[in-house]
Amino acid sequence: MSLFDDSAFVLFSSQTTLLWTCLVLLILCLLSSRFSSQETWKEPPGPWPLPLVGNLLQLDLKKSHKTLCELAKKYGPVFTVHFGTKRVVVLAGYKTVQEALVRYPEEFGDREISPIAHDVSHGHGIMFANGDSWKEMRRFTLSTLRDFGMGKRLAEERIIDECHHLVKEFKEHEGMELKVNFSKLYFATSNIITAIVYGHRYEYSDPRLTDMGRRASDLIRITGSPSIQLYNMFPWLLRWIKNRKLMLNDVESNIRDVKEFTKHLKATLNPDSCRGLVDCFLVRQQKEEDSGVTDTHYNEMNMICTVTNLFSAGTDTTTSSLRWGLLLMAKYPQIQDRVQEELSCVIGRRQVRAEDRKNLPYTDAVIHEVLRVSNIVPLSVPHATSRDVTFQGFFIRKGTTVFPLLTSVLADESEWESPHTFNPGHFLNEHGKFVSRNAFIPFSAGRRVCVGESLAKMEIFLFFTSLLQHFRFTPAPGVTEQELDLTPVVGFTLTPPPHNLCAVERS
């Protein structure tokens, strides 16, 4: 019996020794592999994550962009942070963001499809899509927007016509307090999109325009809420939250509206005279069907998501930029004085046109500084790596979520003389001439740059100058310029805080 026990002990000891030997050899092999390709496997640094929650205790979800800027100071321009269990690589500073998006357009060119983005678009459209479908929809959208005058005379005429409607609306309330988030600005920018998409504009009192504007604004605002950010981290746990239900209800309403608009356009379609983007889509869809193409990207859901993407992105950011512009003019009356003096000297009382920009250097500098300081989309729209990539000495795996931190670019202390103040001088040389700045990328850069950038720039320029030609903007009675709050309301975009202004018609 003792012999059996000794034999068993020897056998057990031999197996244990073998197991430990194999384990040690495995660890040595892994370490050897890691050190032999140290550059390939060196991943970006970052704060140590806790199980399940990651770095949530170190992040303020109400102002994530500020938290990430602080972390960049500690960990450098390329670092890792964990939103729950999701690993995110953050790119900070102009040089790093520009290098990633422009020099590595393919590697950093995919879009991160979060759970809420999947719920909303299911991979369709141009904002939250990847692959061949995204490429085709983006190509089609850019081509069609150009056909309908994006950045050209046709779009300019539409915007100028809408400027007249907007100024008329303001004059009806002249001298009264106007809420800066009032709907008229939103309706004006929405009508530019409806004209391009449907070939039609709406009166500001039309409930269809009101509903479209409200839903587009709500979707952008709710997308950046802390509850939706938490849902994106733990979708299996938080599908029941109220904000997700609100978003899905708005999406269903949008789908219903687009189908209704499309039904009317389809019934009156003339392939030889397209009225807008939807007509062009329907014509292309019919050609694909006639050619026997079965696996076409020109399907109903791609059309609906592309249209709603254009409404959401093309109205909210432009409206927010104009709201910031009016608020900053009221906050800094001496700057407003110089803008209006330049407009009076160069333009007089005639309508401002896009070609006048080159003769309005100070006004152009002010508009650019509004876009820089307002920092509308501070985190950009999240990207994802399409393949493994070694970037600035760090290895980033395929499918990693990437935040190009635009706020760190627009306030990069190595690029801007006074990054945290409103200073139009950032865009003027010593002779008062306008100068462009490489670090001015509020519309992002690379293959995911905003498709409507040139249209948005023209809208902001023409709406802003038209309003400043006709009105002087001041704080509400009893409020001083110093008391005007510039603390943004944080959502997916940064919007001005609620407050009142007075618009007084100029003589």
Please report the DSSP string for 485-504 in residue order. Answer: --PPEESSSEEPPS-EEEEE
Task: Report whether pLDDT(109) > 70.
Answer: yes
pTM to 2 decimal places? 0.89
Position 228 pLDDT exceeds 80: yes
Q: Tell me, what's the pLDDT at 142? A: 92
Percent of the chain having pLDDT more than 90?
Answer: 73
Closest CA to 77 of 360, 452, 349, 405: 405
Residue 310 dihedral angles phi and psi, to the nearest 5° = -65, -40
| pLDDT digits 0-9 by tens, 382-395 | 999 999 999 999 99
**Rounded CA separation 48/6 (Å):** 48
How much is the pLDDT for 182? 67
Going through 342-461 in order, the beta strands assigned E by DSSP cover: 383-384, 389-391, 394-396, 401-404
Listing DSSP states for 29-62 in one string gives: HHHHHHHHTHHHH-----PPPBTTTBTGGG--TT
- pLDDT for 334 beyond 60: yes
- Only one residue has tokens 């618009």, namely 503
Q: How many other CB atoms are there within 10 angstroms of residue 189's CB atom?
A: 27
Which positions make up the binding site for heme? 450
447-466: pLDDT as tens digits:
999 998 999 999 999 999 99
Share of the chain above pLDDT 70, in %: 90
Q: Cβ distance 485 to 381 under 8 Å?
A: no
Confidence of residue 413 (pLDDT cuts 50, 70, 90): very high
DSSP of 342-365, one letter per residue? HHHHHTTTSPP-GGGGGG-HHHHH
pLDDT band at 221; cut points 50, 70, 90:
confident
Contact 190, 308 (CB under 8 A): no
Instruction: Name the DSSP letter for residue 54.
Output: B
Please determine, for residue 36, whether its predicted confidence score (pLDDT) is greater than 60: no
| pLDDT of residue 32 exceeding 70 | no
Largest CA distance in the chain: 114
pLDDT category at 180 given cuts 50, 70, 90 is low
Joined together, the tokens standing for residue 164 give: 């007249």
Please tell me the predicted confidence (pLDDT) of residue 29.
47
Tell me the per-residue pLDDT of 489-505, one tens digit each, with 9 for 90 and over: 888 899 998 888 889 88
Interatomic CA distance for residues 275 and 199, integer angstroms: 5
Binding-site members are 450
CB 125 within 8 A of CB 306: yes
The contacts of residue 175 (CB under 8 Å, 6+ apart) are 502, 503, 504, 505
- Find the helix or strand (DSSP H, E) in which 19 lies: helix 2-36
CATH of 40-505 given 3.40.50.300, 1.20.120.10, 3.40.120.10, 1.10.630.10: 1.10.630.10
pLDDT value for 339: 98
Residue 31 has pLDDT above 90, yes or no: no
Domain boundaries, the chain: 40-505
